[in-house]
Structures are given as structure tokens and as C-alpha cells.
Amino acid sequence: MKEHSDLTAALATATPTTANTVTSAWRLKQFKEKAIEYLLATFTVMSAILIFFIMYFVIRRAVPVFQANGIGFILRGGWDTQFMTSWQAPADQPSWIFGALPLVMGTIYTTVGALLIAVPLGLGCAIFLVELCPPWLRVPLTTTVRLLAAIPSVIYGLVGLIVVVPVIAHTLITNQMAMNMINIAALDGTSILASMIVLSIMIGPIFIALSSDALRAVPRSYKEAAFALGISQWRTILKVMLPVARKGIIAGAILATGRAIGEAIALSMVSGGVANLPDFQHGLVFFLEPVRTLASAIVNNSEGMIVSTCESALFACATLLLLSSVALSVMATWVSGMVRKGVRSHV
């Protein structure tokens, strides 16, 4: 509206030649703006179509295994044996029986364990960066956190394999413990615990960055009102800032969960690569048993792609990961929308 009024005023005081020049420039500007809008809309639609076709391709290749196993694919174990049987089966007698329960539970164990480590530590780090960190130190630490989030996962896996796994093997696993578990799984340091530690270090920077943004979005008037009432800084953080930023923090945890679920390379290096289903009855040894996740199974068993049954089983694992990621993305978007509405209502 302002541009239109400015254009009208310019035309009223201009000569005919100048008026034509101003009108042409305004029309050219409008044309460029519309062209950019249509171009962005086209890219958005193309991206959505591409994502749809990727989902269709993955799910379509997984349908044969889901048809042959039904819900048993998730509730039944025996992945390693079944995969080898399917690999060696004759072409005229394919084996479509697969059970991914150890892979599903391995994904759940490692993801939940990593969140239990990363969320409390990450939240404490976010509070320090936003409220307690000296100004001269805030920028270097914030930059470091964001750089850590950009490090390739294979680097984390390599560090975990060289540092974390040997420490666990030499300090937590005894010879007697290894002998007692020899018929179940080999205890060599690659384990749930190593996966939880490496994965928590990987998703920590993402959670810290998003939680910091959520805390910075809390209206300053809230803190000033709390200080005016004589409330201490720590009580203000715990009783005022964290409740207001709660939804943003939850959204950060959801996105970090999505990263953890889909991690393959690092976990294939430190988890043990065995489709083993750890038992809580083993006590604390539970955390020292090797596992395999859905994502790492796709990497470790990728040679089976040349066999149609094995290929479909791996695509079934990818489908479970894909649906989980979509569900988490929808949840994060919904929570973020609630955060924005809450911020606007408080302003």
C-alpha cells in the first residue's frame, strides 16, 4: 500500500517521460517479485513430490515382507539366522520369514538411553549459555556447540571405537563376566552403553542449540517481573523460564530423537553389530551386551540387496525408520506451532 501511494505521488509530480519510466520500473519490480514467488512455490511443490515418491518407493519394496510376516515382523526375533537362511535359499524356494524385534528394541534402547544422558546435560548447558555464561565466553561456546552438531557421524563412531569401547572393555567387563555370557553374546566393549554414550554426544549439540533458542525466546519482561518480586535467579530459571520454554525444549528433544533413530554409521561401529535381544534379568550386564539397530542393520547387511527377499527385508527396516521419522517431524512441527502461538499470545 505504501509503495502504491509513493508511486501515485511520484506520477503526479513527474513529466510524461519520467512517469512512463517510473511506471515501467514499478511493473518490472512487480514482475520480478511474482516470478520469485512462483519459482519458490515450484521448488516447494517439487520437493514435496520428491519426498512422496521416495516414501512410495521404500514402502513399495517392503510390502512383500510385510505381507508374508504381518505384525510378526516387529514382534518376532531371529534376524541373523533368518537373513542367512534367506540369503542361501534357492531362487525357486525363497524364504520370506524375518523377525526384526532385536533391531527394533536395539533402536529403542540406544535412543532412549542417549536421550536420558543428552537431555539433562544438554538442558544444563543451554541454561548456562543463555543465563549464566559470561558475555566474553558465550559466543565461542555457542559457535563450538554448533560446530559439534556439524561433525560427520563417522568421526563420532571412530572416536567411540578408539576411546569409549576400550574403556568399557577394560574397566567394566571382567573375564568371569565374559565367560558367563559366552553362550549368549561376546562382551568386547561394543555394547548398548557404548552406543548410548556416542549417540548422546552426537545429539547433544542439536538439543543444546534448540533449547537455547527456546530459552532466548522467553519474554524478558517475565524475568524482570520475577526479579522485581525478589525471586532468586535460579528460582526464576526453574519456575519461570523453563515452564515457558517447555514446548520449545520438547520440540528440540523430538528432533534429537529423530537424529538418534536414523543414525547408522556410528552405531554400526560401536554397538556390536549383533541382532541380540538383551535381557533385563542379566542385571547391569544388560548395558554391556551388543545390539544392532534398524539403521545399522541396513548398513551391515547391505550385501543382501542382491537377493530379493533380503532386499525387501532391509526396505522393511527402512520403512519403520521412515515412518518413525515422519511421526517425529509431525510432532516437532506441531509443538513448534504451539510455541509460536504461545509467544504471540504473551507479546
For the stretch 301-317, pLDDT in tens is: 888 888 888 899 999 99
Domain contains 60: yes
**Rounded distance between C-alpha atoms, residue 69 and residue 18, angstroms:** 76
19 and 167 co-located in one domain: no
Residues 6+ apart with CB under 8 A from 256: 115, 118, 119, 122, 203, 204, 206, 207, 210
Closest CA relative to residue 288, chosen from 200, 189, 157: 189
Instruction: Pull the grid cell for residue 91.
Output: 531362487
31 and 120 co-located in one domain: no
Domain contains 204: yes
Range of the domain at 27: 2-67
pLDDT digits (tens, 9 = 90+) for 270-301: 988 888 888 888 788 888 889 999 999 998 88
**Structural domains counted in the chain:** 2
138 and 187 co-located in one domain: yes
Position 11 confidence tier, pLDDT thresholds 50, 70, 90: very low
pLDDT at 202: 92
Which of 25, 46, 67 is the endpoint of a domain?
67
257 and 325 co-located in one domain: yes
Domain contains 91: no
Task: Tell me which residue has cell 520469485.
Answer: 36
199 and 152 co-located in one domain: yes
Whether residue 265 has pLDDT greater than 80: yes
Distance from chain centroid for Cα 320: 14
Position 347 confidence tier, pLDDT thresholds 50, 70, 90: very low
285 and 142 co-located in one domain: yes
163 and 205 co-located in one domain: yes
- 122-131, 231-240, 332-341 — which one is most confidently predicted on average? 122-131
pLDDT at 344: 52
CATH number of the domain within which 302 lies: 1.10.3720.10
Task: Tell me which residue has cell 539433562.
Answer: 120
**Rounded distance between C-alpha atoms, residue 150 and residue 152, angstroms:** 6
Whether residue 159 has pLDDT greater than 70: yes
pLDDT at 282: 79
Whether residue 194 has pLDDT greater than 60: yes
pLDDT at 22: 57
pLDDT at 192: 92
Domain contains 84: no
Residue 50: CB atoms within 10 Å: 10
Between 205 and 26, whose confidence is greater? 205
Domain contains 90: no
User: Average pLDDT, whole number, for the chain?
Assistant: 84
pLDDT digits (tens, 9 = 90+) for 238-257: 888 888 888 888 888 988 89
pLDDT digits (tens, 9 = 90+) for 93-104: 888 899 899 999
Domain contains 77: no
Residue 70: CB atoms within 10 Å: 11
The pLDDT > 90 percentage for the chain reads 24
